[in-house]
A and B are shown apart, each in its own frame.
Chain A
Amino acid sequence: METTQMLERRSLGIAAATAALLTPRVLRAQGTTDITVHYAQPFIFKESYDAIAAEFAKREPNIRINWVTTPNYQEGMQLILRQSATGQMPDLSYQGFNRLRLFAERGIAQDVMPMLRAEGEPAAMGYSPSILALAHFGGMQAGLAYAASNPICYFNADLVRRAGGNPDAMPTDWPGTLALAARIKALGGGTEGMFYSWPGDDWMFSALLFGHGGRMLTEDERDVAFDGPEGLASLRLLDSMVKVGGMPNLTREGAQQAFAAGRLGMFFWTTAALRGTIQQVGRNFELRTTVMPVIDAQRGRLPTGGAAGMLTARDPAKREAAWKFLRFSTSTEGTTLMVRNTGYVPTNQLAIDEPRWLAEFYQQNPLFQAATRQANISIPWYAFPGANSVRVTQAMVDNQARVVEQRATPEQALADMANEVRRLLPRPRG
C-alpha cells in the first residue's frame, strides 16, 4: 500500500516535472516572479544566503525572494509538514539531510534530476555521485546538497603541550587519543581530557559505527544491523572514553563551554560549530583542529551533516525561479560564497578541485581544512525509514546515556537499543 502510494506520487511528480519542462516558457519579461525560500539556523547561514542572493539578483533581476527562517532543522521540518497540509509551503526549503527522506516518502519533495540533466552532465557541473548521494532518498534526487559537515576534533594546543603531546602530530587512533586525554585530565585543577558529543541525535554514534565499517540497518531496512560486532565495538569505545579517557558526564553545550574556557582538552563535534567555537575561544588559548582518529583504515567512513535545498513549488513559474536559485546556490560560485561565510564543507566538486575558488580561503583559515581532508570517506547521514524515524534516534541517545553514566554495560545497552529500534521500524505492509 505504501509503495504504490509512493509510486503514484513519484510518477505524479515526474509527470509534473516533464510537463513543466515541455510547456513553452511564458513570457515574464514584464513582471517579477516572487518565490519564498526557507532555511534553518539563520545564525549560521544568514550571511551565506544573503551573499548568494545578492549575486543571484545580478543574474536574475526578475526574481524576488522572500525569506522564511526557523531556528533549527527540527522546526524547519515541522514547518513544511504543517504547511503541506494547509497548502502554504515555501517554494524552496533547505532541510537537514536526514529529514529529506520523510519528504521524499510523503511526496512533498520533487525529483530534481530531470531539471539538472536538462542543463548538462551533472558531474561536469560539479555534482559528483557522492555529492548527489547526500540528497538522494526515496529512489529520487530529493534535493541538492547545499552545505556539508563532518565530525572533527577540536583541541586545546596549550593543554596538549602541557600534557606532553605534540599539537602537530596528534594521535591518529583511539587508544592513543584516550591515553592523551587521560594525561590531560591528570593535569588537575578541574581540567577534563576529552568530550565526544554523543548527546542530541544519532550522528556522532554513527561516526563510531561507520568508522568500524558497520551499518545502521540491513540492506532491505527490515531489521537492525548495528547490533553486530561493529555496534558493540562502538559502544565499548564509548565506554572506554569514560573509563580510560575520563570523559565527564556533561551536556554538549556544557562541554562546549568548558572547552571555550580552556578546561577541556579535546572536543569531538561537527565542523559546523567551528566559527562559533573560534568566537567563544577568542584569545583564551591556541585553538587547533584535526581529523577524527581512524578506526578502520579500509572500511571506516564518517557521516555527513548539513542541509540540502528541496524544491516544493507546484506553480510552473515559481518552480522554475526556485530551481534557478537552488542551482545557483549549489554551483561553484554559490558553494564558494557558502564556504566563505560559514566554514562548512563545499558541495560542488569543481569548487573543491579547482584551486581558484577556495584555495585562498583555506590558506587563510587553516582550521577549516580538517573537515575537507575527510571528504573522501564521508557518506550520507543515515535516515531511518518510516514515521518513527525521529523517535529512533532518541532511543539511541538514551541508551548511550546509560553507558556514559556507567549504569549499563555496552552489551546490555546494545541489546536494549536494538530491541527498541526494532519495535519502531515500520512493519512490512502487504
Chain B
Amino acid sequence: MPDASLALRARSPTRRSEALGAWLLTLPAALSFALLLLLPTLAAIALAFTDYELGLIPVWIGLENFRELLADRGFRRSFFNTIIYVGLVAPLSVGLGLALALLIEAGARGRVFFRAVFFLPVVSLTVAMAAAWQYLLHPTIGPVNTLLRLIGVTGPAWLSSSDTVLISLAAIGVWENAGFNMVLFMAGLTAIPRELREAACVDGAHSGWSRFWLVTWPLLGPTTLFVVTITMIRSIRVFDTVAVLTRGGPNKASEVLLYTMYTEGFTFMRLGYSAAITLVFLVIVLALMWVQTRVLDRRVHYG
C-alpha cells in the first residue's frame, strides 16, 4: 500500500526521463544505423533505377533495368537456383543440426570434444575450404570418386556437370551450417528442464522417441523457429562457395542471386543493373520472412 503509492507517484515524472534515457541509449546505434546501413541501402536502391557504371555519371532510366531482368535468361536461372539451394540446405542442415545436438546431449561423454569438432566448419575460411572441397570432389583423382570406384560406381563430375553442381554446393552448404545449427539446438535443449523429461517417463512415455515427440520437440519450438529463420537467411545469402568453386558455371547451372549481383556490379561494372537485382533480392527475402512468420509462428508453442 505505501509502496504502491510511492511507486505511483514516482512513475509519472520519471516516464519522460525514462523515454529520454532510452533515446540517449539508442542514439549511437541509431546514428550508425542511419549512416552505415539505412542511407547506403537507400542509395543502392536508388541506383537500381539508373544505368550507373563505375567511372561514369549515372543517368536515370526508370524501370529499364527491371525489364531487362525479366527477359534475362541468366537472372531467371539464378532465381530458381537460389530457391532450390535454400530448399535443400535449410531442411537438411536444420535436421542434421538437430540430430547432432540430440546425439551429443544424450550422454555426457565427449560432449566438449564433439561440439568443437562439428562447429569447426563454421569457423573456417571459405577460400581455404574451397580448395579442399575442389580436390575432394575431383572427378578423377578425388577421394569421393575414388571410394565410389572401389564399390564399382562411376561418380559424376560433381562440380563441373550441370546436373550435379547445385547438389554438390548444397552438400557443402549443409556441411557449413549443420554445426552452427547444432550449437543453437544444444542451447535450446539444455534450457528444457530435465524434470519435464523425467516426468514424461513416469507418465508412461518410455521410449526415447515418444519422449522426444511429446516433450522435447514442442518445447524446442521457439528454438526451431529461430534456427530455421537463421538458416534460411544464411543460405539465401550463399556467395563464397559459388564465387570460389564454380563461378556460376557450368553455363549458369550454379548461378545464385548474390553472385549474379556481384558479377553484374563488380565484374561487368554495371552497378545500376546490379542494384536492381539487389532490390529484387530484398523483396524476395522480405516476402519469405513474412510468409514464414505467418505460417510457422502460429504453430510454435511458447512455454
Seen from chain A, the residues whose Cβ lies within 8 Å of a Cβ on chain B are 74, 78, 81-82, 84-85, 106, 108, 190, 192, 199, 248-251, 253-254, 257-258, 261, 263-264, 387-388, 390-391, 394, 397-399, 401-402, 404-405, 407
Q: What are 26 residue pairs bridging A and B, where the CB atoms are less than 8 Å apart in the complex? A: A78-B54, A78-B266, A81-B55, A85-B55, A190-B149, A248-B140, A250-B140, A251-B134, A251-B159, A254-B138, A254-B139, A257-B138, A257-B141, A258-B140, A258-B141, A261-B140, A261-B141, A387-B53, A390-B267, A390-B268, A391-B270, A398-B250, A399-B251, A401-B249, A405-B161, A405-B250
Q: How far is the CB of A403 from chain B (nearest CB, A)?
A: 10
Is there an interface contact between B269 and A390, defined as CB atoms closer than 8 Å? yes
Given contacts A81-B269, A82-B54, A399-B251, 6 further A-B contacts (CB under 8 A): A106-B55, A108-B55, A250-B140, A250-B160, A251-B159, A390-B267
- Chain B, residues 107-150, CB within 8 Å of chain A (1/0): the string is 00000000000000000000000000011001111000000010
B residues less than 8 Å from A81 (CB atoms)? 54-55, 269
Is there an interface contact between B134 and A253, defined as CB atoms closer than 8 Å? yes
Query: Which 7 pairs of residues, A with B, have the shortest CB-CB distance?
Result: A401-B251, A401-B250, A398-B251, A81-B54, A261-B141, A391-B268, A81-B55
Seen from chain B, the residues whose Cβ lies within 8 Å of a Cβ on chain A are 53-55, 134-135, 138-141, 149, 157, 159-162, 246, 249-252, 263, 266-270
- With A85-B55, A254-B134 in contact, is A249–B161 under 8 Å at CB? yes
How far is B249's CA from A397's CA once the two chains are assembled, in angstroms?
Answer: 9
How far is B56's CA from A108's CA once the two chains are assembled, in angstroms?
Answer: 12
Least CB separation from A191: chain B residue: B140
Is there an interface contact between B159 and A190, defined as CB atoms closer than 8 Å? no
Is there an interface contact between B134 and A398, defined as CB atoms closer than 8 Å? no
- With A78-B54, A190-B149, A249-B157 in contact, is A387–B269 under 8 Å at CB? yes
- With A81-B55, A85-B55 in contact, is A254–B160 under 8 Å at CB? yes
The A/B interface has a contact count, at CB < 8 Å, of 84
Is there an interface contact between A254 and B159, defined as CB atoms closer than 8 Å? yes
Is there an interface contact between B55 and A250, defined as CB atoms closer than 8 Å? no
B residues less than 8 Å from A250 (CB atoms)? 139-140, 157, 160
B residues less than 8 Å from A84 (CB atoms)? 55
How far is B249's CA from A199's CA once the two chains are assembled, in angstroms?
Answer: 9
Q: How far is the CB of B289 from chain A (nearest CB, A)?
A: 32
Is there an interface contact between B135 and A257, defined as CB atoms closer than 8 Å? yes
Is there an interface contact between A251 and B268, defined as CB atoms closer than 8 Å? no
B residues less than 8 Å from A399 (CB atoms)? 251
How far is B139's CA from A264's CA once the two chains are assembled, in angstroms?
Answer: 12
How far is B141's CA from A253's CA once the two chains are assembled, in angstroms?
Answer: 12
How far is B157's CA from A290's CA once the two chains are assembled, in angstroms?
Answer: 29
Is there an interface contact between A251 and B160, defined as CB atoms closer than 8 Å? yes
A387 touches which of B135, B138, B270 (Cβ 8 Å): B270
Least CB separation from B134: chain A residue: A253
Is there an interface contact between B162 and A248, defined as CB atoms closer than 8 Å? no
Is there an interface contact between B267 and A74, defined as CB atoms closer than 8 Å? yes
A residues less than 8 Å from B269 (CB atoms)? 78, 81, 387, 390
B residues less than 8 Å from A404 (CB atoms)? 250
How far is B263's CA from A391's CA once the two chains are assembled, in angstroms?
Answer: 9
How far is B260's CA from A394's CA once the two chains are assembled, in angstroms?
Answer: 12
How far is B230's CA from A243's CA once the two chains are assembled, in angstroms?
Answer: 47
Q: How far is the CB of A242 from chain B (nearest CB, A)?
A: 13
A residues less than 8 Å from B149 (CB atoms)? 190
Is there an interface contact between B251 and A402, defined as CB atoms closer than 8 Å? yes
Is there an interface contact between B140 and A263, defined as CB atoms closer than 8 Å? yes
How far is B138's CA from A264's CA once the two chains are assembled, in angstroms?
Answer: 13
Is there an interface contact between A263 and B268, defined as CB atoms closer than 8 Å? no
How far is B269's CA from A390's CA once the two chains are assembled, in angstroms?
Answer: 9
Is there an interface contact between B268 and A190, defined as CB atoms closer than 8 Å? no
How far is B135's CA from A425's CA once the two chains are assembled, in angstroms?
Answer: 38
How far is B54's CA from A258's CA once the two chains are assembled, in angstroms?
Answer: 39
How far is B53's CA from A263's CA once the two chains are assembled, in angstroms?
Answer: 45
Q: How far is the CB of B40 from chain A (nearest CB, A)?
A: 16
How far is B40's CA from A375's CA once the two chains are assembled, in angstroms?
Answer: 50
Q: How far is the CB of B243 from chain A (nearest CB, A)?
A: 12
How far is B267's CA from A85's CA once the two chains are assembled, in angstroms?
Answer: 17
How far is B268's CA from A251's CA once the two chains are assembled, in angstroms?
Answer: 22
Q: How far is the CB of A62 from chain B (nearest CB, A)?
A: 33
Q: How far is the CB of A412 from chain B (nearest CB, A)?
A: 13
A108, A192, A251, A402 — most chain B CB neighbours (10 Å): A251
